[in-house]
Structure 1
Amino acid sequence: MSNNSLAQIGAITSMNLRNMSQRLASSIVALIGIAGVVTVLIGVLSIAEGFRAVLEISGSDQVAIVLRSGATDEMGSGLTQDQVRVIADSEHALRDEQGTVVSPELYVVVNLPLFSTGTTANVPLRGVGPQAAKLRSNFKIVEGTDFTPGKFEVVVGKGASLQFEGLKVGQQFRAGNTDWTVTGIFEDGGSVAESEVWTDATVLQGAYNRGNSYQSMRVKLTSPGAMQAFKDSLSTDPRLSVRVFSEKQYYEEQSRILVTLVSTIGKSIAILMGLGAIFAALNTMYSAVSARTREIATLRALGFGSAPVVTSVLAEALLIGLAGGVVGMIVSYIAFNGVRASTLNFATFSQLTFAFTVTPQLLVQGLVYALILGFIGGLLPSLRAAKLPITTGLREL
């Protein structure tokens, strides 16, 4: 491109941008439309990002989850007392002064009302072994005390206590024909455990008539590198028929369905809303071209080429898209980031609490989408302006 062409582009674009105040109302409409699309896009995708973040921080490469062969989650699994003993005896399991660091666990769901709507939703009630806290690296009781083994007592994850009624210290709820007393609230670094209610596994077995059975077993290994050897030792043991996951792998597989679903829905909504924003941008830019018809024709008659005209119109459209994108980024970050909510975990059909997470990557995605909308909205009007016959434009009043 010659220096002359660049000079023409700079001159026309500068003049066009200086005259944007004459089209302020229509420009603001287009800007608000694009900002709204960006806000919705980032808001919906922050749900998927928050869900993914919860499950990612929940997983450890040094903790194994053992399920029945063929099971993909705890709800469809089952382990006997004898199988639990065999797994706990593995040479690859970590041991401390209290014995092997394992937790045979039982998982049921109970219905409790949500604070937000008053409607009931599924809450995970997990029976755990005495060593369960050692398998969650950030576990700590932040209010009240731990449950007493052998009693109908529970401790509640912080996330669950904020989302559901009846889960504050000292309160009771009914599940499995039993009244359970909340003795404490715990945190676990924002992990999936904070969406759960914990009790003694033996007590939960009796309350739900589960005999001596469990559904899963967590095992802390001597090191992350021992995972494959642990898998091999269990798979070759004739007394067992089990599947072994690292905790990280297990939660990654659980997150895949919901993250994909939410991301697809969010992007579909953004595309539909984006069509409306494009029409607003088109209207704005067609109005700009119509108002400048005679001016554009005069410039063309003076020797200005089509490329500078196209560039000037696109520059205005992109500036509107940029401004709308920035506004949408700011609004979505303030409105959504860190807001706590709950959603259905399709792997367990129970509620999972999480925080909306607006990441820098999501903000960049929103800004890029805004620029795309601006570009599409300005493309057709810019081409019309460039192709407008000079004689027709000069006749415009």
Structure 2
Amino acid sequence: MLLPWEYGVRNLARRPLRTALTLVALATVVMLVFVVVGFIRGLEQSLVVSGDESVVLVYSVNSEENIENSSIPARTPALLTASLDTAVRRFGITHVSPELYLGTRVKTEGGEGGLGLVRGVTISAPLVRRSIKLVDGKWPGDGEVMVGRLVAAKLGASDDSLMVGNEIQFEGQKWKISGHFAAGGAAYDSEIWCKLVDFQSSTKRQDLSLVAMLMSPGRSAAEVQLFCKERNDLELRAILETDYYASLQQHYKPVRLLAWFVVLLVSGAGVFAGLNMMYGAVAGRNREIATLQAIGYRRRAILISFIQEGVLLAAAGSLLSGVIALTMLNGVAVRFTMGAFTLRIDSVAILIGCSVGLLLGVVGALPPALKALRAEIATGLKAV
């Protein structure tokens, strides 16, 4: 015969301070799991949505997978459009975007700033980068820039310092902010865009970092790759944008593995914390346990009641942490080497976090309860 369900619930209410402390400890552990899993999911999502399966990137073969180190001749876009008929062409405009992309020190008016990512583009960039949406302001003119919605997080600056009309400084020049743009969570969200010719002038460079081409339906990236191999004097390579960001996922695989390892460490620490709390909770209940056995309740029923208490506390802690994570952590910007991205508390993060919380409730309750149940009934009845 099992103990009544209400018995375990009432036991939690009889010790409000101990119950509250245990609840806070469990909620803290689950919150840490939410933060780490949200970091992993946010990084993965940023890399997934950044690629466009219709866009081919052409850059220097010597830069390997780091486009910031790429340098190709300024005549490359004209050479590609003249030699290939693969890019989309509408109203006489070829959807090819020549770009200069590099990391540089950026300073805001308030003295804040850090390492930022700047991309020099032409007016054809939005035709190729189809995820870009102008949120407010206007497209940058001479001496102007527009900033992504996560640039403030990347620079470690305040949002107010990047308002339209303010100035920022990089490459020895002051630039006026003309607008803000969003890219749906893609890597561009943490970039600063300006006119290509202005950026080339300020950096004293006449070359490009890459050329992005929007492929016509039915055309293959293999055509561009074949051209790059045949013209080996140009030292170019071509890759689908989705493949490029997939390679970045492999590049950041050790970071993701380390983050999952942190989840295991946090969970393990939570188990030991739960054990410590539960041992303290059970230590003062020896007489209660012995009395229950003396009036006829079997050890299995008492053990299930203890597990019920642990699971109830863990479920409450997981629920509390889940609400806080969804309302306060979801969408929080995080600075990273590749730029910035937002924590993503999605269904996977909720599932993992709550599963860890419930596991803590079960595993934390078992050892102290088993130890208490192994004691002799007579000894337990004499306990103070």
TM range (shorter): 0.7 to 0.9
Equivalence for 2:356: 369
**Structure 1 position 230, deviation (Å):** 3.3
Secondary structure of the residue aligned to 2:3 is helix
Secondary structure of the residue aligned to 1:122 is strand
Separation of aligned partners in 2, 1:303 and 1:235:
84
Equivalence for 2:175: 180
Equivalence for 1:24: 16
Q: Does 1:227 align with 2:221?
A: yes
Distance 1:370 1:169, change over 3 A: same
Separation of aligned partners in 2, 1:170 and 1:255:
36
Q: Is the 8 A contact 1:108 1:126 kept in 2?
A: yes
Q: Does 1:34 align with 2:26?
A: yes
Secondary structure of the residue aligned to 1:197 is strand
Q: Does 1:157 align with 2:152?
A: no
Separation of aligned partners in 2, 1:183 and 1:284:
56
TM value normalised by structure 1: 0.83
Counterpart of 2:239, as a letter, is: F
Separation of aligned partners in 2, 1:263 and 1:96:
45
Q: Is the 8 A contact 1:45 1:263 kept in 2?
A: no
Separation of aligned partners in 2, 1:49 and 1:289:
38
Report the identity percentage.
25
Deviates more, 1:278-287 or 1:324-333: 278-287
Secondary structure of the residue aligned to 1:81 is coil
Equivalence for 1:385: 372
Separation of aligned partners in 2, 1:114 and 1:323:
44
Equivalence for 2:209: 215
Distance 1:145 1:226, change over 3 A: same
| Gap regions ≥5 residues in structure 1 | 1-7, 347-351
Equivalence for 1:344: 336
Aligned with residue 128 of structure 1, among 113, 121, 134: 121
Q: Does 1:95 align with 2:82?
A: no
Separation of aligned partners in 1, 2:164 and 2:152:
9
**Structure 1 position 193, deviation (Å):** 1.9
Output one character per residue of 1:281-312: Cα deviation in whole Å (capped at 9) or x when no partner.
Answer: 33443344344323433443455433223222
Output one character per residue of 1:144-191: Cα deviation in whole Å (capped at 9) or x when no partner.
Answer: 33233xx33323223326864764333333333333333333333343
Separation of aligned partners in 2, 1:168 and 1:16:
56
Separation of aligned partners in 1, 2:253 and 2:235:
31
Distance 1:110 1:304, change over 3 A: same
Distance 1:73 1:283, change over 3 A: closer
Equivalence for 2:345: 358
Separation of aligned partners in 2, 1:301 and 1:206:
89
Equivalence for 2:328: 335
Q: Is the 8 A contact 1:45 1:262 kept in 2?
A: no
**Structure 1 position 105, deviation (Å):** 1.0
Question: RMSD of the alignment, in Å?
Answer: 3.0
Q: Give matches, 1:248-327, under 5 Å.
A: 248-257=242-251, 261=255, 264-265=258-259, 268=262, 271-272=265-266, 275=269, 277-301=270-294, 304-327=297-320
Secondary structure of the residue aligned to 1:67 is strand
Separation of aligned partners in 2, 1:114 and 1:49:
30
Aligned with residue 168 of structure 1, among 148, 163, 188: 163
**Structure 1 position 64, deviation (Å):** 1.1
Separation of aligned partners in 2, 1:168 and 1:291:
60
Q: Is the 8 A contact 1:13 1:311 kept in 2?
A: no
Runs of 4 or more above 6 Å deviation: none
Deviates more, 1:299-308 or 1:64-73: 299-308
**Structure 1 position 271, deviation (Å):** 2.9
Counterpart of 2:50, as a letter, is: S
| Gap regions ≥5 residues in structure 2 | none
Q: Is the 8 A contact 2:108 2:169 kept in 1?
A: no
Separation of aligned partners in 1, 2:28 and 2:268:
9
Separation of aligned partners in 2, 1:261 and 1:114:
30
**Structure 1 position 202, deviation (Å):** 2.7
Q: Is the 8 A contact 2:57 2:213 kept in 1?
A: yes
